[in-house]
Structure 1
Amino acid sequence: MVNPFFPLCGYGIVTIIRLPGADSYLKKLKGTFSFTYSTMGKIHFKSLPERTADVISDMLYQKNYRIGAKLPNEIELAAMLEVSRNTVRQAIKILADRNILEVQRGAGTFVSSKLGMSDDPLGLSMVCDKNKLVRDLLDVRLLIEPRMASLAAENGTADEIRRLRENCERLEEACSRGENYYEIDMEFHTAIAGCSRNLVVHSLFPAICQTIILQENVTLDRLKEQTVRAHKRIYEAVAGRKGSEAYDAMTAHLIQNKERILRQQELEQETNQTNLSEKCRKRQK
């Protein structure tokens, strides 16, 4: 089955969800005794809010609702599912915690752009050796992102390519003013992944972007200039629908990043070793 949350509509376009045939879902909600079986051998019986959350999630999935679609309000959902407003409220909170729904104060409840993804799907925030993590993530990016750039050249829409150009312009402005540009950097690589139309890569990108976050301490002027030039080359190849050039440009960009980060880590290690040796000499005196 095609993933129903695939963003066929543009981001930011609000679609009001109607829930026809809600009666069929009521059977699941009220006519079954839902439970889960844990690996520890204990049975966990689901509460009514949990079952309601499952039913709402199924509705979104089976009716092919898209990113940015707006749900009916609490009163309407409660009437459709024949549960209390409080139950609906708790169910929405459960789905928001799972990144399936997003609650915007004063605007309503919407299908989340994160598509149920965890903010840290691979548990990388718990890795102690951050230097090795950065190196390993760069290796993963080298395996994935050049191909994504090639696919972006094939599949990116005119509007998406325009946004890539605007991102390059914002990056250059931020670097010229000496501002932090890592969010703009992440936006660019995330946008390339979106243009590729590969759903799996989209779900992996929160983890992949950890590399950009973890290299924030590398802020040399030369790095800024290299990043601006590299992003421009990638954009121009994608805009020109030149898949092989986009592949090569992304590969060169990531290899440059890796070499620079390895040099930075070596320098830090040498500095730490020198400081440690100096402390030892002082203690011996």
Structure 2
Amino acid sequence: MPMKVADRAKQELLNKIIVEKEYHSGEKLPNENRLAEELRVSRTSVREAIQFLVTQNVLEVRRGKGTFVTDHVDDSQGFGSKAALSLQNRRLRDIYELRYMLAPQAAYFAAKRATEAELENIIQIGKEIQEHSLESDEDMGNNEKFHMAIARATHNEFAVQLMQMIEDRLIEEFKAGEKRQVLYDSVLDDHKMIINYLKLRDADGARQAMALHMQHSMREYHIDSEEEGAV
């Protein structure tokens, strides 16, 4: 699941202003055509990037004059990090929302279709997660294995492929951004509840438990799934 062109344009333009200092406070940006050439994207993506950075108070549009870097960029230490974090939050929200759409249904079908061997594998992974440090790299790997084991137990190849893309992109976002991926106590408790419903072959219960798990994860990372989409 590669980064969307518009998101890449936002990130690169932000880097030019905050990191590379190519454009300074009060300076006018080049026109959309030139920016599109520099960023190797369409004018539409440039326009979306500018609109986003305006909402973050990095840029301001002066009618009849053009787009300028605001004074806040130089005046506020760590300002660029806040804008970058906001962009990461949007990407994480998109990933978690897609995960929320898929994971509960995967748990539903896994409860119905999992073989005894697949169920035992899910249980074993759950035990390994409980035994390790909440912030260890091994634990993060087991967390991905847990969700992928449930996806495979659906016996639906497209669900497996889509879930793998989601999990891979989630790991990429945490590695690239400022937020650290951890497993909170509430998340670990959710795993136990999901496993219990899977063991009972209670498909509806497994679906509801997984939906609750997704909600808890989004809450722990302060991801608001109800907010408006990208401007």
The alignment-based identity, stated in percent, is 21
Worse-matched range after superposition: 209-218 or 153-162: 209-218
Cα distance in 2 for partners of 1:155, 1:163 equals: 14
CA drift at 1:219 = 5.2
Q: Which residue of 2 aligns with 1:155?
A: 113
Match of 1:124, SS? Answer: coil
Higher relative contact order (Cα pairs below 8 Å, separated by 6+ residues): 2
Match of 2:218 among 258, 280, 283: 258
Q: Which amino acid aligns with 1:179?
A: S
Q: How many Å separate the matches in 2 of 1:234 and 1:144? A: 15
Alpha-carbon displacement from aligned partner over 1:73-128 (angstroms, at most 9, x marks no partner): xxxxxxxxxxxxxxxxxxxxxxxxxxxxxxxxxxxxxxxxxxxxxxxxx3238754
Hey, what does 2:62 align to over in structure 1?
none
Question: Residue type matched to 1:242 in 2?
Answer: D
Question: Please, which runs of 5 or more residues in structure 2 have no aligned partner?
Answer: 9-86, 225-231
Following TM superposition, by how much is the alpha carbon of 1:147 offset from its aligned partner in structure 2, in angstroms? Answer: 0.6
Aligned to 2:95: 137
Matched, 1:123 2:29: no
Deviating beyond 6 angstroms after TM superposition, the runs of 4 or more aligned structure 1 residues are: none
Tell me how far apart the structure 2 counterparts of residues 182 and 163 of structure 1 sit (CA, whole Å).
17
Kindly indicate whether the alpha-carbon contact (under 8 Å) linking 2:106 and 2:151 is maintained by their aligned counterparts in 1. yes
Describe the SS at the equivalent of 1:132: helix
The alpha carbon displacement at 1:211 in A equals 2.2
**TM-score normalised by L of structure 2:** 0.55
Pairwise CA distance, 1:226: 1.7
Q: Comparing both structures, which one devotes a greater share of its residues to helix?
A: 2
Query: Which residue in the other structure is 2:205 paired with?
Result: 245
Q: Is the 8 A contact 1:124 1:207 kept in 2?
A: no
Aligned equivalent of 1:211:
170
Flag the 1:206–1:263 CA change in 2: closer, same or farther, 3 A: closer
What is the TM-score when the length of structure 1 is the normalising length?
0.45
**2 CA distance for matches of 1:248 and 1:215?**
26
Structure 1 stretches lacking a partner, 5+ long: 1-121, 265-285
Letter in 2 for 1:175: S
1:219/1:136 Cα in 2 relative to 1: closer, same or farther (>3 Å)? Answer: closer
Work out which of the residue numbers 151, 169, 176 in structure 2 matches 1:193. 151
Aligned mates of 1:249, 1:233 — CA distance in 2 = 6
CA distance in 2, matches of 1:219, 1:131: 13
State the structure with more CA Rg. 1
Distance 1:235 1:198, change over 3 A: same
Aligned-partner Cα distance in 2 for 1:212–1:188: 14
Alpha-carbon distance in 2 for matches of 1:224, 1:196: 26
Question: 2:125 touches 2:146 (CA, 8 Å); kept in 1?
Answer: yes
1:151-190 map, 5 Å: 151-175=109-133, 179-180=136-137, 181-190=139-148
Amino acid at match of 2:197: A
- State how far apart, in whole Å, the 1-side matches of 2:123 and 2:98 are: 26
Contact 2:104/2:211, CA 8 A, preserved across alignment? yes
Pairwise CA RMSD: 2.3
The Cα shift of 1:163 comes to 0.7
Matches within 5 A, 1:1-285: 122-124=1-3, 127-128=7-8, 129-175=87-133, 179-180=136-137, 181-209=139-167, 210-215=169-174, 217-218=179-180, 223-262=183-222
